[in-house]
Copies of this chain bind each other. A is one copy, B any other.
Amino acid sequence: MSDEIKIQLTTTPGNKPDSSNLSFGKYFTDHMFIMDYHIDKGWHDPRIVPYAPISLDPAAMVFHYGQAVFEGMKAYLTDSGKVLLFRPDKNMKRLNQSNDRLGIPEIDGDFVIQAIKTLIEIDKSWIPTEKGTSLYVRPFIIATEPCLGVRSSYTYQFIVILSPVGAYYSGGLEPVKINVESSYTRAVRGGIGYAKAAGNYAASIKAQEIAKKEGFSQVLWLDAIEKKYIEEVGSMNIFFKIGGTVITPEINGSILEGVTRDSVITLLKDWGVPVEERKISIEEIYEAYKQGQLEEVFGTGTAAVISPVGELHWNEHTMHVNEGKIGELSQKLYDTITGLQSGSLPDPRNWTVTF
């Protein structure tokens, strides 16, 4: 991709939302990045255009066979007016892993990061600066060929949209109630669970809605094979602090390889906190709870960063974690990662990209 990015600016800039009332992914900035793919031409025609509806043939394959992958990142504005992105190379690597699994052509990660920077630069005035807010960056790829045969599409669009966001959970860093899902499954080995693919989320919605009606924020997914081992929570990775050791499910093909997950593991190692990536069963967690060893539970993801779990329900058992309060380590991880992301803490690993 050596094409230059064409830029067409809006003539009707939108009104920026009140930054104290952003919620998540509801407002979008004035511009978006688009590039097209054709099997004979590769990725081409990269351009920044005014944010507007896209027009697709009703037979476009994304509507029928779900070839759609995405990424999520956050951009922060520093006091000195610089923009920060957190580990975008990891998102590009994962996007190409998702592409590979879904039969979607590879993208040039460096070029896309450059395109994202250019787009954010143009819509920089949309980056909110209140505590807990940021500019959410959503790159996604959809199959656009109008054809009803089941195969990889010959054409795609890669699009990046930007959304000023508040905290993912309106309650802020409040511990949430989680239900261990025992009927529905999210993914299985050999499937697409490790890909950030639209279909994984579609599969998760029903169980989430049932859990919400029962008063839970999210579901905790167990493995589909033995219905025993922990996979993910909602659309986040999950960590358990048990007797001083932090345990998180190992990468196994059916869970997402989270960027925040990787950052948490790295920070814990830096801090000398024992951390294990391994299979962990719900029984083991319940046993630890009964012995008073289950100290903290938290989810990790780009949207929420760290989401402490205050209550964990599993069949007839209710586990109250850390008396329903945010754990010390959860809080430290949240403060450190958001501090790094927003540029208020020194960044010895050069995780942030500044421009």
Contacts and interface: CB of A to CB of B under 8 A. Distances in A.
23 contacts: A25-B59, A25-B148, A26-B149, A28-B146, A54-B57, A59-B138, A59-B163, A65-B201, A65-B205, A66-B198, A66-B202, A103-B209, A150-B205, A150-B208, A151-B209, A185-B189, A188-B188, A188-B225, A189-B224, A191-B191, A197-B199, A198-B202, A199-B203
B66 A58 contact: no
B51 A54 contact: no
Interface string A179-201: 00001111111111000011111
A205 B59 contact: no
A131 B224 CA distance: 45
Nearest to A102: B202
Contact of A24 (B24, B149, B184): B149
Contacts of A198: 62-66, 198-199, 202
A110 to B, nearest CB: 23
A81 to B, nearest CB: 26
A234 interface: yes
Nearest to A67: B202
Interface size class of A (residues with CB under 8 A): 35 or more
A206 B64 contact: no
A142 interface: yes
Interface of A: 23-26, 28, 32, 51, 53-59, 62-68, 70, 100-103, 136, 138, 140, 142, 146-152, 159, 161, 163, 183-192, 197-206, 208-209, 224-225, 234-235
Given A24-B148, A189-B185, A205-B65, A53 B56 contact: yes
Nearest to A69: B202
A53 B54 CA distance: 9
Copies in the assembly, this chain: 2
A205 B62 contact: no
B190 A183 contact: yes
A68 B59 contact: no
Central interface residue in A53, A191, A200, by most chain B CB within 10 Å: A191
A54 B63 CA distance: 11
A103 B205 contact: yes
A197 B200 CA distance: 11
Contact of A55 (B55, B152, B163, B197): B55
A150 B166 CA distance: 15
A51 B85 CA distance: 42
A185 B189 CA distance: 7
A249 B204 CA distance: 26
A272 B256 CA distance: 50
Contacts of A185: 188-191
B65 A62 contact: no
